[in-house]
């Protein structure tokens, strides 16, 4: 029987994509024979993950969890919307969200290395790939802890958009309204003080050139630009946006004396390459 070293286990994991413990078990069962261990993992369905690594996972869900003082949102991607609606997949995402709230990992590396049901989260995801049969990706998360404020989360359209927000206080309904506003209106920051100076300078220059192209006199261009910049603020700054439930009010109006401390908004799949479904090409490839 060949010696089962950490290096051999690591090599098997890199080849198959299976978890460390599964690789070690396979090597023990196969008396240290790497090739047999690969077949063993394939037969058990655990090595499926490696074959799916190159696929595009741009569907999925955003989920939220909270225990009062800590809350999170997390995005987990799948290849198809069909799997995203699968009960097993949704239970997996829910469990990971609750795990994040319980453990408060510092970053994605810490989350993947943390223990969930006796295994690392990375291994749990690998096993889920084998079980569900699609590439899955634990993409990102945001976790907030607040000792003296109010945390609120909001999930829109069954997981298409997720929001987490921390307020300095207020009732639950206020937190829900602000989170809903962020989901719907997509603010970039809380107030004017938070607007990126480079982005603002760029916007001002674009608006100035637009005004000149419209043939406006130079002497009134700056006033026009100032007016359009104010409109820009109302689009990107949360507290200046019209309240989606009452356009006669701004978010600042409904907040009263409550402050928005921070927020995060995840839109499922944003920034990811979408799979191009060409069924004619797929059928042609199968015929060949």
Q: For position 25, which CATH number holds?
A: 1.10.8.10
Handedness of CA 202, 204, 206, 208 (dihedral sign): negative
* pTM for this entry: 0.75
| Residue 164 maps to a domain | no
pLDDT of residue 51: 57
- Residue 205's H or E segment, with its range, is helix 197-213
DSSP secondary structure letter of residue 273: P
Write the CA distances from 65 to 90, 98, 231, integer angstroms: 13, 6, 35
23, 93: one domain: no
In a domain, 177, yes or no: no
DSSP reduced 3-state for 101? helix
User: What local confidence, expressed as pLDDT, does residue 52 receive?
Assistant: 63
Q: What does the block give as tokens for 233?
A: 């603020």
Residue ending a domain, among 88, 121, 145, is 145
- Profile the chain (288 residues) by mean pLDDT over runs of 10 residues: 84 79 90 87 67 73 96 96 94 98 97 96 91 91 97 96 98 97 97 93 89 87 91 95 97 97 96 60 46
* Residue 35: predicted pLDDT: 85
Residue 283 has a pLDDT of: 43
pLDDT, residue 167, reads: 98
* 65 plus 42 within the same structural domain: no
pLDDT on residue 53 = 60
pLDDT number for residue 50: 55
Residue 71 lies in domain: 54-145
Residues 114 and 196 in one domain: no
pLDDT, position 282: 44
pLDDT of residue 287: 44
Strand order in 59-66's β-sheet?
59-66, 70-78, 137-145
Number of domains in the chain: 3
pLDDT at site 258: 98
Evaluate whether 55 touches 77 at the Cβ level (below 8 Å). Answer: no
């Amino acid at each position: 029987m060949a010696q089962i070293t950490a290096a051999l286990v690591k090599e098997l994991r890199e080849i198959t994509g299976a978890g460390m413990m599964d690789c070690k078990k396979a090597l023990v069962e196969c008396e240290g024979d790497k090739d047999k261990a690969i077949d063993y993992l394939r037969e058990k369905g655990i090595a499926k993950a490696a074959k799916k690594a190159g696929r595009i996972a741009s569907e999925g869900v955003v989920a939220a969890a909270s225990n009062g003082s800590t809350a999170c949102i997390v995005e987990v991607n799948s290849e198809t919307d069909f799997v995203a609606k699968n009960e097993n997949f949704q239970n997996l995402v829910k469990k990971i969200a609750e795990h994040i709230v319980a453990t408060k990992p510092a970053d994605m590396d810490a989350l993947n290395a943390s223990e969930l049901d006796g295994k690392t989260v990375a291994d749990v995801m690998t096993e889920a790939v084998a079980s569900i049969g699609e590439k899955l990706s634990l993409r990102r998360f945001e976790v907030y802890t607040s000792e003296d404020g109010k945390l609120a989360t909001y999930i829109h359209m069954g997981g298409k958009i997720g929001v987490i927000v921390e307020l300095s206080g207020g009732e639950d309904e206020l937190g829900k309204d602000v989170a809903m506003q962020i989901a719907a209106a997509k603010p970039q920051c809380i107030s004017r003080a938070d607007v990126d100076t480079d982005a603002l300078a760029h916007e001002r220059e674009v608006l100035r050139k637009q005004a000149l192209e419209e043939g406006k006199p130079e002497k009134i261009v700056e006033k026009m630009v100032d007016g359009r910049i104010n409109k820009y603020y109302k689009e990107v700054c949360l507290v200046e946006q019209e309240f989606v439930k009452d356009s006669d009010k701004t978010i600042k109006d409904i907040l009263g004396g409550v402050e928005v401390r921070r927020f995060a908004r995840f839109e499922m799949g944003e920034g990811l390459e979408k799979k191009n479904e060409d069924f004619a090409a797929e059928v042609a490839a199968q015929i060949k």
